[in-house]
Amino acid sequence: MTKVLLTGASGFIAKHILRELLEKGYAVRASIRSERRKAEIQALFPEAEIEFATLDLSKDDGWDTALSGVDVLMHTASPFPLAEPKDPQELIRPAVDGTLRALKAAKAAGVDRVIMTSSCVAIYKDASKPKMMPSDEGNWTTADAPYVSAYEASKTLAEKAAWDFVAQTPEIALTTINPGLVFGPAMDEYYGTSLNIVDQMMNGQMPMVPNMHMVTVDVRDVARMHVAAINLEATKGERFIASSDAMSFLELGQSIKATIPDAKTPKRIAPDWLLRAMALFAKDVRAITPNLGRNLLCSNKKAPKTFGMQFIPTRDAVVASAQSVRAFGK
């Protein structure tokens, strides 16, 4: 039986990947950061035989043991904050070092298949193209550009580090999955940043929204792509944008309102000048302003052809998110 080490197994995306792996009959070793995270996973899969490994992206301890006897490394672990940190290296170093730490341990253990969760943020801010031109898998975000956030830089540099590593280690076949903003159903109340945006909209914490479109995808599609890539020869050595379509922040609020009538969703678009003024003292707004007047759309043509799939519509993903937020009562 093929054994998979799934890093960051308690994450929103990773829990869906874990379910997909178990349903497809894979043996899973799940990496966690604490016993509390282990309990979360066991509560979701009480009947499953899951091995656990406690790993830290910033420490060497345990990686060699965790990858011993493993056939596939599925690396999803990476920090994803709502607000920009004071020091970008707080995100960049764990993402890059953790990726290389996992890959080096995989090489030492003889693991020759790696599936890595990257992001559209590693694609859509390429300084070499016009800023209003949409992007595809051939584009790379310019990590040191002034309009690139710490999170965007961390995902870009971590993915580049992975590709650079396997270029020197040809025995490892790497695939990266690059999702847009991930919506869809939560499996428990620990659903992380992307659904927190839905939560904030529902609770009236966003009286106005920026004039922006988001690249979006359902978490179930992201999970299916990760697992399908394991044995799909055409995915080796390739990166894939995971995106159903695009939705504006205002449309996001409208979709939520149609599903949850009493949700306090925003009805107005904030002028760009107001957001730039607010960014002077609000960290979460500061993270948005570099995206104003920029096309963040990414082509989704490659993945359906290679995987033979159709993406779940964004509205369905958003509806599932809103229903989850309401069900879990956060």
pLDDT tens digits, 172-197: 999 999 999 999 999 998 887 788 88
Among 155, 162, 175, which Cα is nearest to 306's? 175
Note the pLDDT of residue 207.
87
Query: Strand, coil or helix: what is 93?
Result: helix
pLDDT, tens only, 16-69 = 999 999 999 999 999 998 888 899 999 999 999 999 999 988 889 999 999 999
231's tokens = 């044995």
Contacting residues for 197 by C-beta, under 8 A, at least 6 apart: 82, 181, 252
Farthest CA pair distance, the chain: 57
- What is the residue-averaged pLDDT of the chain? 91
Name the packing angle between helices 35-44 and 12-23 (round to 10°).
50
In this prediction, residue 191 carries a pLDDT of: 82
Q: What pLDDT score was predicted for residue 79?
A: 61
pTM, to two decimals: 0.93
What is the C-alpha to C-alpha distance for residues 247 and 245, in angstroms, rounded to an integer? 7
Q: Which helix (H) or strand (E) holds 101?
A: helix 89-109
Q: What is the pLDDT of residue 71?
A: 97
Per-residue pLDDT at 84: 62
Cα 183 to Cα 317: distance, rounded to the nearest angstrom: 5
User: What is the per-residue pLDDT for 270?
Assistant: 82
Where the chain has pLDDT below 50, the residues are none
